Structure 1
Amino acid sequence: MKKLYTNYINTFRGLSPEVWWLALMTFINRSGTMIIPFLTLYLRDDLDINQTNVAWVMTCFGLGSVFGVWLGGKLTDKIGYYKVMVRSLLATGFLFIALQFLGTFTQICVGIFIVMVVADTFRPAMFVAMSVYSKPENKTRSVTLIRLAINLGFSAGPAIGGLIIANIGYSGLFWVDGITCILATLLLINKLNPRKAKPVDEIINDNPISVNKDKPYWVFFIAMVFFAFIFMQYFSTMPLYYKDVHSLTEPEIGYLLGLNGLIIFLIEMPVISWLEKSNFTKIGLTLFGLILTILSFVVLNLTPWLGILVFGIVLMTVGEMIGFPMSNAFAMKRSKRGKQGEYLAMYVMAFSIASIFSHNAGLQMSAYFGYEFTWYFMCTLGILGVLLLLYLRRILKQSGELV
């Protein structure tokens, strides 16, 4: 047991202090975003917005995210990651608090769009900061540590959020979301100010290649849109499925979704550390992660047994914890060919673009055709992503760029 513990701790060694501070700040911020898994329930059950209109609200969520990520990438290359991160986090805190006072369908659509524009300018800047503060040999583990912080936050967030809803109501979530964003901003200003924090891998490319001319990266981008599309069902349609089909309560839904973060906290870093030393390629591992995520939807249609929900979460979690760090590491390595903000914004934008259509499609299909049809549809999209990744692996192998 002691050796196991020591080996676990050793997987975290060698990362810079700045990456650790960035992880802590991310954990505080992600713990506060407990409204996200409950947003569809809040809109439908608390504001009495019908499910098809909830789908359009989630589309505004995605549109705001896409524009925010694009803007974040541009601003990061222009004014620097630190200024973008500080301004985004602070403004997001106040906007989350204000969001609870919107009541009509139109107000909610506009409000969600604005919140996501401001909030997601942070994401490309954060990835650039993580790359700058990580040695080349530590980048995948740095990505994993940040994801660990995100998922640990998501593990605590939904569980606490479910209890807040049960005892205080949905308004408490908005206050906690806003306050935690503000706290994360204070930590960022105190610990990651460029006058104190020193870069360890700052990239200056005098002849950057435009991401628009990078064909393999575009194939990768489209595959990640499909991957993100099906994965995001767990944050919009899936909570409704748990409640409507399996009659779970909000706290039970929170605990089930929280299992995802708990598993990642316990085993992701050792698994990624081992995979980095293996002969598997980043694209091959991304492909494996996508296949596991597809299977997490397949099993839901096999039996009405309640325990299958846990099995589905486990499959999705393993797929996510292998696929996303490896795809992120591939994007960071590829970004050295051009402007980092542009490349990494495009990676994040794959998730944002997916969210425009994913939430809406899942909610609309489940309302009109049922959950079983919806899960099979998601599997079909996942298979398209698998085919694209297979094609990408082939063209990278032919060009000698497969890593």
Structure 2
Amino acid sequence: MKRLFNTYIDTFKGLSKEIWWLALITFINRAGTMVIPFLSLYLTEDLNFSFNNVAWIMSAFGLGSVVGSWLGGKLTDKIGYYKVMVRSLLTTGFLFIGLQYLKTFELICLGIFLVMLVADMFRPAIFVAMSAYSKPENKTRSVTLIRLAINLGFSAGPAIGGLIIATIGYDGLFWVDGITCLLATLFLINVLHPKKAKAVDSVINENPQSVFKDKAFWIFFFAMVLFGIAFLQYFSTMPLYYRDRYELSEFEIGLLLGMNGLVIFVLEMPLISWLEGKKHSKTGLILLGTLLTGLSFIILNYSSWSGILVIAMLLMTLGEMVAFPFSNALVIDLSKKGKMGEYMAAYTISFSIAHIFGHNIGLQMVDALGYDNTWFIITGICLACIALLVLLKRQLKITGEE
């Protein structure tokens, strides 16, 4: 047991202290954004908005994310990742506090759009910072550590948020969200100021290629949109499937979803470390992750045994653990011929687009076609993603990038 524990700890060795600081700041930030999981409840229960109004507000949420990711990438290339992260966190803190005072539909739409615009400027900046503070051989594991921080934050946030709502109400939630963003800002300034934290791998391209001229990247971009649409079904249509087809309680659904975060926390870093040692191509590993995710949907149509839900969740989790870190590492490699902020912004936008359309598409298909046909179609989307990744692999071989 001790040997197994030591082996697990060894997978974290070699990462710079700046990466650990970034992970801690990410955890504080993600745990703090606890308004997000309760947003639809707040809008319907506290403000008495209709489902139609909530749908439009969530569209404003997604649109703000797209614009914020794009703007964050532009600003990162212009003024640097440190300034973007500080200004994004600081402004987001005040916007979260102010959001509670908006009560009309129009103002809520505008407020949510602005909050997400400013908050998601942070995303491309932190990926560029992560690359700068990581040695080339540690980049994939650094991404994995940041992902662990995000998952832990998302796990802790809803639990703390539920307690706050039960004790002091939704107003307290906005205050805590805002204050945690401000605390994360102070922490960031204290530990990652350029005078204290030095980059170890800052690539400055004197003649950068525009991301819009990079054919390989756009094949990759559309593959990630498709993967995101499939992956997000586990957080919108799949809980409904658990309830309607298997009559699971909210507690049982929570356990299934919680298993995803637990498995990622325990196994992702050792898995990534092991896969890196096998010297597989990043594109091939993303393809493997997509294949596992597609299998997690199709197997549901061939068994009525309740245990199949656990198997499907494990397959999806494995797919996620393989696809996300290596897709991030791949875009870092591709960005070296251009501006990293621009590339990372486009990468994060692919998932923002998946958020805008993925939940809606899945719910509409379930309503019109039923669950079984929906899972067949989602599997088809994964196969389309795999076809694009095969095309990407060929394109990268032609250009000598793989």
| TM above 0.5 | yes
Distance (whole Å) between structure 2 residues aligned to residue 309 and residue 45 of structure 1: 31
Distance (whole Å) between structure 2 residues aligned to residue 389 and residue 35 of structure 1: 36
Root-mean-square deviation over aligned CA pairs? 2.5
CA offset at residue 162 of structure 1? 4.5
> Which residue of 2 is the match for residue 379 of structure 1?
379
DSSP-derived class of the 2:157 partner:
helix
Q: Once the two structures are superposed, what CA deviation does each residue of 1:166-212 show, in whole Å capped at 9, x if it has no partner?
A: 66555554333323222211211111111110110111111111111
> Which residue of 2 is the match for residue 294 of structure 1?
294
> Which residue of 2 is the match for residue 112 of structure 1?
112
CA offset at residue 401 of structure 1? 2.0
> Which residue of 1 is the match for residue 148 of structure 2?
148
Alpha carbons 1:159, 1:258 under 8 Å: kept:
no
Q: Work out whether 1:187 is the aligned partner of 2:152.
A: no
| Most deviating of 272-281 and 308-317 | 308-317
**Counterpart code for 1:9:** I
Q: How does 1:1-400 map to 2 (within 5 A)?
A: 1-44=1-44, 47-165=47-165, 169-242=169-242, 253-302=253-302, 306-400=306-400
**Counterpart code for 1:196:** K
CA change 1:193–1:296 in 2 (3 A) is same
CA offset at residue 352 of structure 1? 1.3
| Most deviating of 288-297 and 65-74 | 288-297
Alpha carbons 1:61, 1:355 under 8 Å: kept:
no
CA change 1:80–1:355 in 2 (3 A) is same
Distance (whole Å) between structure 2 residues aligned to residue 165 and residue 246 of structure 1: 30
CA change 1:266–1:347 in 2 (3 A) is same
Distance (whole Å) between structure 2 residues aligned to residue 98 and residue 250 of structure 1: 32
Q: Once the two structures are superposed, what CA deviation does each residue of 1:238-277 show, in whole Å capped at 9, x if it has no partner?
A: 4455556656566655444332222111111110011111
> Matched residues, percent identical?
66
Distance (whole Å) between structure 1 residues aligned to residue 105 and residue 398 of structure 2: 51
CA offset at residue 395 of structure 1? 2.1
**Counterpart code for 1:197:** A
CA change 1:45–1:248 in 2 (3 A) is farther
CA offset at residue 342 of structure 1? 0.8
Distance (whole Å) between structure 2 residues aligned to residue 297 and residue 47 of structure 1: 36
CA offset at residue 324 of structure 1? 0.4
What is the total number of aligned residue pairs between the two structures? 402
CA offset at residue 26 of structure 1? 0.5
Q: Once the two structures are superposed, what CA deviation does each residue of 1:28-84 show, in whole Å capped at 9, x if it has no partner?
A: 111223343444454455555444443333222211111000000110111111111
DSSP-derived class of the 1:337 partner:
coil
Distance (whole Å) between structure 1 residues aligned to residue 176 and residue 304 of structure 2: 36
CA change 1:254–1:109 in 2 (3 A) is farther
CA change 1:113–1:262 in 2 (3 A) is same
CA change 1:17–1:155 in 2 (3 A) is same
CA offset at residue 315 of structure 1? 2.0
Distance (whole Å) between structure 1 residues aligned to residue 284 and residue 86 of structure 2: 36
Alpha carbons 1:153, 1:261 under 8 Å: kept:
no
CA offset at residue 307 of structure 1? 4.3
Distance (whole Å) between structure 2 residues aligned to residue 271 and residue 247 of structure 1: 34
- Output the TM-score relative to the length of structure 1: 0.91
CA change 1:306–1:169 in 2 (3 A) is farther
| Most deviating of 224-233 and 42-51 | 42-51
CA offset at residue 368 of structure 1? 4.8
Q: Once the two structures are superposed, what CA deviation does each residue of 1:10-33 show, in whole Å capped at 9, x if it has no partner?
A: 111111110000001111111223
CA change 1:105–1:261 in 2 (3 A) is same
**Counterpart code for 1:401:** E
Distance (whole Å) between structure 2 residues aligned to residue 169 and residue 254 of structure 1: 22
CA change 1:172–1:319 in 2 (3 A) is farther
CA change 1:350–1:209 in 2 (3 A) is same
CA change 1:197–1:212 in 2 (3 A) is same
Which ranges of structure 1 fall in alignment gaps of 5 or more residues?
none
CA offset at residue 3 of structure 1? 1.1
